[in-house]
């Protein structure tokens, strides 16, 4: 087993250019699996449930960087604010305000990504492109000194249609360029494009991704 997670990581990393960061999505996998990945050199892990992430954070090595990648309820921010390295799926001003508030309490600056809704599925969370434009043009985020908006995150549609997936990633890439130009031209920190999962990360990398979130291809199938 140990051998397998290490091999999976090596195989995936060999496919990633140097400028692409690998987030190992470990949700629903037990600590032993994460330790195998850790021993193979992986330091960034992605989780989508606040309690599970906090329990893992408390029992695993302190130099792990925890990315929260799921939908985060406002009332749960306080539990992860002391230690989270990045909150990847910010999809409302309300959530951003709460992150600012909780980060301030801990005297931290929390890096965040804005989550876009581009996929066809009606059920996925995220800001439409117009919502995202409105959030940024409103300007309140500029006064928040404890959150650092460092880029965009999105999930492509769940489909076998490669053309559709590619189209959605390219929409995100074009939108990133727009937002970079209009709001973050002078901000070197705003540079992360988080798209690509087990089934589509090679396409995502072709479409400008700088951060891929890969679970199943590293750890195997999840048992819910
Ligand atoms: C679960 C999850 C992933 C990883 O999915 P895999 O198909 O297992 O690689 C990536 N991003 C988000 C937001 C997820 O919830």
Specify the ligand 1 atom closest to the Cα of 197.
9
Identify the residue whose C-alpha is closest to ligand 1 atom 6: 215
Question: Is the shortest distance between the CB of 207 and ligand 1 below 6 Å?
Answer: no
Residue 121: pLDDT over 90: no
What proportion of the chain, given as a percentage, has pLDDT over 70?
A: 97
Question: Is the shortest distance between the CB of 111 and ligand 1 below 6 Å?
Answer: no
How do residues 75-91 score in pLDDT, each as one tens digit? 999 999 999 999 999 99
- The burial of 218, by beta-carbon neighbours within 10 Å (0-12 exposed, 13-18 middle, 19 or more buried), is given as buried
Tell me what pLDDT residue 2 has. 54
* Mean pLDDT, the chain, whole residue set: 96
How do residues 155-204 score in pLDDT, each as one tens digit? 999 999 999 999 999 999 999 999 999 999 999 999 999 999 999 999 99
Residue 127: pLDDT over 70: yes
Question: Is the shortest distance between the CB of 151 and ligand 1 below 6 Å?
Answer: no
Average pLDDT over residues 10-34: 97
Entry pTM: 0.97
Question: Is the shortest distance between the CB of 25 and ligand 1 below 6 Å?
Answer: yes
Residues 6+ apart with CB under 8 A from 151: 113, 114, 176, 190, 191, 192, 193, 194, 210, 211
Residue to substitute in 28, 45, 46 for testing ligand 1 pocket (most ligand atoms within 8 angstroms of CB): 46
């Amino acid at each position: 087993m140990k051998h397998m997670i290490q091999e999976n990581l090596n195989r995936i990393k060999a496919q990633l250019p140097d400028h692409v960061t690998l987030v190992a999505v470990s949700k629903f996998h037990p600590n032993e699996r994460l330790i195998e990945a850790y021993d193979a050199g992986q330091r960034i892990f992605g989780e989508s449930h606040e309690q599970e992430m906090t329990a893992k954070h408390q029992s695993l090595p302190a130099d792990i960087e925890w990315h929260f990648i799921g939908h985060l309820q406002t009332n749960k921010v306080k539990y992860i604010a002391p230690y989270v390295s990045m909150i990847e799926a910010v999809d409302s001003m309300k959530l951003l305000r709460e992150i600012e508030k909780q980060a301030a309490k801990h005297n931290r600056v929390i890096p965040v990504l804005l989550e876009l809704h581009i996929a066809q599925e009606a059920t996925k969370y995220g800001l439409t492109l117009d919502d995202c434009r409105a959030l940024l043009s409103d300007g309140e985020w500029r006064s928040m000194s404890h959150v650092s908006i460092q880029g965009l995150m999105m999930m492509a549609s769940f489909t076998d249609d490669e053309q559709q997936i590619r189209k959605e990633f390219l929409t995100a890439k074009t939108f990133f360029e727009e937002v970079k130009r209009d709001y973050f031209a002078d901000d070197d920190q705003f540079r992360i494009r988080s798209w690509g999962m087990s089934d589509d990360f090679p396409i995502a990398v072709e479409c400008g991704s700088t951060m891929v979130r890969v679970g199943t291809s590293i750890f195997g199938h999840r048992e819910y």
